[in-house]
């Protein structure tokens, strides 16, 4: 079978002209829903060659960051980290290689459990015979597919205890459990639940996730990447400070005015700190869950609109008044918060909701 057809199928689904009209959040959803479903279907049946696996990941990576074969875009976060679950700081995209291994692991599970299947009976009758799955060695003249399954079983042997699959309580095979075991335990992102909460607008969640890791292309980061920058000073304030994540989202006088007005509107106080520290402070507050989500939405809106104002000033020479940003964010948040009027979590902090939407 020509497995490179998979790459062609994914390429045909990616419309680069259409991708330009989508935000990062939009392209993330396309990657999770459309592109993953294609390679997941193929990967559950076939063991994909490494050349195909790498090409599929490359296509998905390029699409996510808005690049293509003609125009390359910088990957703001490594593909390995992107493939971690959200609670571990990633985007929950499934890497083609490890997902393929975990999917094929179900075939091995069927052999170990001797499931009622013509294929299982055939393999036991022709190849395994009196051996067990674990002690069997694939003959040299056996098919490539069977030899490949046997080469993968060593990394899966730890998933079994006394012949039972041990990653689930009932012993039933789980592809996602196998995949998570393959990527290993990573450091947990304690504020992931806040970053990805539904009150924050999708495009703002993505920017909040990027800014929290200092991955936006600020001028200091461009310089560290070896890119020539004519003027490294912050273009939003007149203090002559180098534009960095800390300056742009914490120290800049421009963002300080925006933050002060929004906190006054929400009737809360949070000291100016770096984003991750701020979110950790919100998490530790003795507030209702909905209030924490709304305050996180304020943080996400500040990051998104400050970055947008920075780009307008830097690339177009247009200075957006901070009062316009404040008014825009408040209108945006009122519409968003109003959607939760009849939810239980909003009712639990009714006075807070009413003060914002009055």
**Residue 15 token pair:** 């419309």
* pLDDT per residue as tens digits for the range 262-304: 999 999 999 999 999 999 999 999 999 999 999 999 999 999 9
Cβ within 8 Å of residue 199, ≥6 positions away:
290, 293, 294, 296, 297, 336, 337, 340
> How many percent of the chain have pLDDT more than 70?
93
* pLDDT given at position 168: 94
* pLDDT per residue as tens digits for the range 216-243: 999 999 999 999 999 999 999 988 899 9
Q: How far apart are CA 130 and CA 100, in angstroms?
A: 29
Q: Which residues on adjacent β-strands are paired with residue 161?
A: 164
* pLDDT per residue as tens digits for the range 52-69: 888 888 888 888 898 766
H or E stretch covering 88: none
The single residue listed with the structure tokens 């993505």 is 206
Q: How confident is the model at residue 211 (pLDDT cuts 50, 70, 90)?
A: very high
* Domain spans of the chain, in order of start: 5-76, 99-183, 192-357
**Distance in angstroms between the alpha carbons of the first and the last residue of the chain:** 63
Cβ within 8 Å of residue 288, ≥6 positions away:
345, 348, 349, 352
| H helical segments located in the chain | 5-13, 16-19, 24-30, 36-43, 50-65, 79-82, 96-113, 118-123, 144-156, 175-183, 192-195, 202-212, 219-224, 245-246, 253-266, 275-284, 289-311, 322-338, 344-347, 350-357
* pLDDT given at position 10: 66
* pLDDT given at position 51: 83
* pLDDT given at position 119: 86
* pLDDT given at position 350: 87
Q: In whole angstroms, how large is the CA radius of gyration of the chain?
A: 25
At residue 39, does pLDDT exceed 90? no
- State the greatest distance between any 2 C-alpha atoms of the chain, in Å, as a whole number: 80
* pLDDT given at position 229: 93
H or E stretch covering 164: strand 164-165
Mean pLDDT of 15-41: 75
Please provide the size of the chain in residues.
358
At residue 76, does pLDDT exceed 70? yes
* pLDDT per residue as tens digits for the range 105-116: 998 999 998 888
* pLDDT per residue as tens digits for the range 146-158: 888 888 888 899 9
User: Could you tell me which residue, 342 or 298, shows the higher pLDDT?
Assistant: 298
pLDDT mean across residues, the chain: 89
At residue 8, does pLDDT exceed 80? no
| Cβ atoms 173, 159 nearer than 8 A | no
Q: How confident is the model at residue 17 (pLDDT cuts 50, 70, 90)?
A: very low
* CA dihedral (130, 134, 140, 145) positive or negative: positive
Mean pLDDT of 181-198: 93
* pLDDT given at position 255: 96
Q: How confident is the model at residue 13 (pLDDT cuts 50, 70, 90)?
A: low
| Cβ atoms 204, 303 nearer than 8 A | yes
| Cβ atoms 118, 202 nearer than 8 A | no
| CA angle (96 as vertex; 91, 99 as ends), nearest 5 | 85
* pLDDT given at position 239: 87
At residue 356, does pLDDT exceed 90? no
* pLDDT per residue as tens digits for the range 294-338: 999 999 999 999 999 999 999 999 999 999 999 999 999 999 999
* pLDDT given at position 222: 94
* pLDDT given at position 20: 61
Q: How confident is the model at residue 198 (pLDDT cuts 50, 70, 90)?
A: very high
* pLDDT given at position 181: 93
At residue 169, does pLDDT exceed 90? yes
* pLDDT given at position 18: 59
At residue 179, does pLDDT exceed 50? yes
Q: How far apart are CA 354 and CA 339, in angstroms?
A: 13
Q: How confident is the model at residue 80 (pLDDT cuts 50, 70, 90)?
A: very high
């Amino acid at each position: 079978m020509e497995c490179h057809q998979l790459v062609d199928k994914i390429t045909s689904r990616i419309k680069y002209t259409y991708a330009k009209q989508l935000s990062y959040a939009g392209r993330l959803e396309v990657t999770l829903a459309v592109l993953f479903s294609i390679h997941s279907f193929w990967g559950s049946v076939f063991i994909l060659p490494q050349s195909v696996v790498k090409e599929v990941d490359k296509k998905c990576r390029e699409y996510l960051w808005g690049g293509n074969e003609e125009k390359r875009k910088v990957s703001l976060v490594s593909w390995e980290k992107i493939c971690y679950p959200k609670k571990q700081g990633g985007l929950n995209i499934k890497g083609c290689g490890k997902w393929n291994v975990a999917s094929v692991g179900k075939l091995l599970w069927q052999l170990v459990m001797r499931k009622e299947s013509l294929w299982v009976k055939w393999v036991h009758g022709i190849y395994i015979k009196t051996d067990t799955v674990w002690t069997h060695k694939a003959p040299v003249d056996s098919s490539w597919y069977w030899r490949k399954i046997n080469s993968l079983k060593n990394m899966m042997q730890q998933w079994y205890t006394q012949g039972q699959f041990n990653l689930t309580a009932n012993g039933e095979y789980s592809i996602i459990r196998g995949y998570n075991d393959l990527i290993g335990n990573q450091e947990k992102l304690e504020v992931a639940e806040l970053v990805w909460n539904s009150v924050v607008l999708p495009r703002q969640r993505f920017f909040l996730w990027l800014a929290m890791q200092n991955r936006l292309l600020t001028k200091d980061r461009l310089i560290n990447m070896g890119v020539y920058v004519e003027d490294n000073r912050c273009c939003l304030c007149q203090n002559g400070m180098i534009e960095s994540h800390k300056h742009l989202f914490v120290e800049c006088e421009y963002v300080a005015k925006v933050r002060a007005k929004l906190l006054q509107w929400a009737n809360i106080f949070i000291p100016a700190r770096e984003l991750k520290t701020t979110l950790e402070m919100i998490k530790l507050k003795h507030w209702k869950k909905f209030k924490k989500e709304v305050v996180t939405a304020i943080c996400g809106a500040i990051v998104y609109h400050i970055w947008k104002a920075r780009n307008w000033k830097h690339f177009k020479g247009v200075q957006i008044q901070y009062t316009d940003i404040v008014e825009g964010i408040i209108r945006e948040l009122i519409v968003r918060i109003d959607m939760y009027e009849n939810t239980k979590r909003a009712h639990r902090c009714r006075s807070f909701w009413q003060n914002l939407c009055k």
